[in-house]
Every structure is written in structure tokens, then in C-alpha cells.
Structure 1
Amino acid sequence: MAAVIMNEEQIRELIQGPGDVEWSYEMRRKCQEILPSLLLGPLQVSKSLETLQSLGVTHVVCIRDAKEAFSVRPRFPDHFQYMVLDVEDSEEQNLIRLFPAAKQFIENAITQGGRVLVHCNGGISLSPSFVVMYVMQHFNLSWEDALHLVQNRRYCISPNGGFLTQIKEYESIYKARNAVAAFPPQQRLVSVRRKRSDEDSEDEREDERKRVLMDQDDAMES
């Protein structure tokens, strides 16, 4: 799924989100719509079949620490498609390595007309980190803008320091990939050929230098 291209005003409106929402403490126990087909919330929402069906959920990304597996788990596999990610909720956990599979699952679901709930236990640090990375790449945003976009819809999110560092790192990773993808394949081929040609020329020059040195040695010996 290609990144969505918007002008500055559209980006500002998107990040700002709905301005008529008054956040209350109870809302952290519910899920919020981050995008029309993407919801973010806590475990509590995923435990209610009636709630999930009323929200139109078709796919669920269940993110959990391995020690939470007894409670944070797929509860309705006959009704929804699940993806389970066992992730350690610590600052050392590598999220960037796990993100591509989650991104692909979300994109496939949305492309099929589905609606995805991404949740962890509390919906505060772990699952929001994945959602921030997703909207960052989807809308070609900076990490700050992506964080604010999600935060303006679910006010209670607070990725831990390690996750926040990785969110920042992911911005440069996805932008570098975009830059490579935007480079015309023909030009890439020309650049590779030029590089090889330069390398060949360097090899030839090195061979020539070696021949000169050998000739000089031969002359001195004779």
C-alpha cells in the first residue's frame, strides 16, 4: 500500500484529529479510531465479542509480553483473523524487526475492506508504538507528527523511552527506503555500471602501478 500524499493543510488537519472529543479517564478502557479502518485500544476491548462486532472489527493484532499469554490472547478465532506478536515490554525490545509483519497484516486487512484493532494489555506503550510507526510510514510523516496524530485520538498513550527511540530511528529507515524506491531502476543500473566501471578503472590503474614497479625492479637487477 503506497504512502498517502497530502498537502500541508491536510496533514495539519489529519494530525489534529477530531477537535470535539473531551478525554476522560474511562476512555483508556475503550479503543479509539486512529484511522477509519484502524483502531487502537487495551485488552479489555478485545475480550468482548459484542463490542468487537459493534465496531465492525474483522482483524485483530494482539501484542503481548510472553508472560501475559494466559490473558492476552485471541479469544474469538472463529469470528476474527488474529496476528499474535510476543513482545517483551522492555526498553531493550527490538520493535523495528517485528514491525514489517504487523504492517503487512494491517495493510492486507484494510485492502480487503477490513477493520483492524491493534491492542496490547493497557494500550499505553506497546501497541501504540506499532500504530505510530504504521501511520508515520502510511502518511509519510515525521515521528513527532505521527506520535501527535495517534495521541490526539488516544490521549493516554506513552511509549517507553526505548520504544520512542526506535520510533525516531524508524523515520530515517522508511524515508531511506522511499528514496531508494523513488530512484528510477534504469538510473540505478547506470549508477551500478558506473561504479563497476570506476572500480575496474581503479583495478587497471593498480595493475599498471604494479607493472611499473616490476619493470623498475627488473631494470635495477640488470
Structure 2
Amino acid sequence: MNSGLKSISEIRPHLFLAGYGCITASALKQYGITNAVDATNLNSKPISGLEKIEVPVEDTIIQKISNYFETVVQYVDEVKAKGGKTVIYCGAGVSRSATLTIMYLVISENLPLDQAYYTVNQARRIISPNVGFWRQMIDYEKQKSGGTSTVELITGRMARPIPSVYLHRSIPA
């Protein structure tokens, strides 16, 4: 399992998660990746043979990433239906792209938010969406489930809230 900063992590046979530094023609060819969701907010040069959409968000707690949840899911599912493979990437493959990948599993596969997080974390141990993105993921799950979420933000003596899933980092037994 490759789960570090310098790797492309397979989440599903058609879905990968990575940081910008891994997005090279040879790496994409190695994994058979045909499409990308670029959440870097960089003006990157095109890679031959790679089609992509851009999600222009910064990795800050005030950014509205939830506006892109449905668009990304629709794009990844359309690519999958055509037999393609998609990589979702951001600067390091830790916050923005992890958020979009987690929400892909929540929306497309109907996974509870906590299970989606654990699934992505198993494949890429370094993921850590910022607290603003966590709020949006939790709000989305509450909206879809009628008011409950499988993840809560824990407050206390910490400088900022932490998601309850960080207490386990893997599926609790």
C-alpha cells in the first residue's frame, strides 16, 4: 500500500487520491488513469491524454468545498461508466482531495461519513481534512439523513475541534 505524500493511493479500482507532485504522465499511465479532479488551485500545465475538471478551492476553514461535492461525484461516475479511471488530487493529497474522495464514497456508494473516512484513511494514512471541510461533510450527512451524522466535532481543551473519527483512525471493532 502506497499512502505517503509521494504516492498515488487506490481507493477503488476506478478512483485514486494523490498530491500534485505525483501527477506525472508515467504515473498516470502506470495506474491507467484517464481523468482527474484538480483541486490544487494552481495554474498547472496540461498532461497529454489526461482530461480534468478543476475545483478551485483553497485549503482554508472558510472555503466552501461542499459546492463541488455533487459535481465531483457526477464526473467520477461518468468516467467510471465509460471505463475510465479518475484521480482526485490537491497540493499534498491530504485535505481538499481527501474531502472530495470521502464525499464521493458518501454520495455515490451511500457509505456513512465515518465509514467513508475509514475507507480512505486505510488507503492513504496521511489524510486530514481541515475542520471547515469536516463541518461541511458533517452538515451534508445531516442534511441527507434527516439530522444525524456519524461524525461529530469534539471540542474541549484543544486549540480547535477534532473529528470523532480521529480517535480511532480505523474502523472500530
State the TM bucket, normalised to the shorter chain.
0.7 to 0.9
- Alignment of 1:49 with 2:40, yes or no, is no
The within-5 A match list for 1:5-154 is 21=1, 27-46=4-23, 48-65=24-41, 69-70=42-43, 73-76=44-47, 78-154=48-124
**Contact 1:32 1:40 survives alignment (8 Å):** yes
**Contact 2:20 2:40 survives alignment (8 Å):** no
Q: Residue 169 of structure 1 is aligned with which of 139, 149, 160?
A: 139
Per the alignment, residue 155 of structure 1 pairs with 125
- In 2, the alpha carbon distance for the partners of 1:60 and 1:140 equals 22
- In 2, the alpha carbon distance for the partners of 1:101 and 1:33 equals 21
- In 2, the alpha carbon distance for the partners of 1:33 and 1:59 equals 14
- In 2, the alpha carbon distance for the partners of 1:61 and 1:124 equals 14
**Contact 1:74 1:82 survives alignment (8 Å):** no
Q: Which has the higher strand share?
A: 2
For these two proteins, the number of residue pairs brought into alignment is 146
**Contact 2:73 2:107 survives alignment (8 Å):** no
- In 2, the alpha carbon distance for the partners of 1:79 and 1:142 equals 34
- In 2, the alpha carbon distance for the partners of 1:103 and 1:156 equals 22
- In 2, the alpha carbon distance for the partners of 1:57 and 1:141 equals 24
Deviation at 1:175, TM superposition (A): 3.8
> Partner amino acid for 1:51?
A
Per the alignment, residue 3 of structure 1 pairs with none
Once the two structures are aligned, what percentage of the paired residues are identical? 26
Q: Larger Rg: 1 or 2?
A: 1
* SS of corresponding position for 1:82: strand
* SS of corresponding position for 1:118: strand
Deviation at 1:89, TM superposition (A): 1.4
The within-5 A match list for 1:195-210 is none
Deviation at 1:28, TM superposition (A): 2.1
Unpaired runs of at least 5, structure 1: 1-20, 177-222
**Contact 2:95 2:128 survives alignment (8 Å):** yes
> Partner amino acid for 1:38?
L
**Contact 1:62 1:74 survives alignment (8 Å):** no
Two-structure CA RMSD over aligned residues (Å): 1.6
Q: Which has the higher helix share?
A: 1
User: TM-score scaled to structure 2, two decimals?
Assistant: 0.79
Unpaired runs of at least 5, structure 2: 147-173
- In 1, the alpha carbon distance for the partners of 2:30 and 2:113 equals 32
- In 2, the alpha carbon distance for the partners of 1:74 and 1:145 equals 35
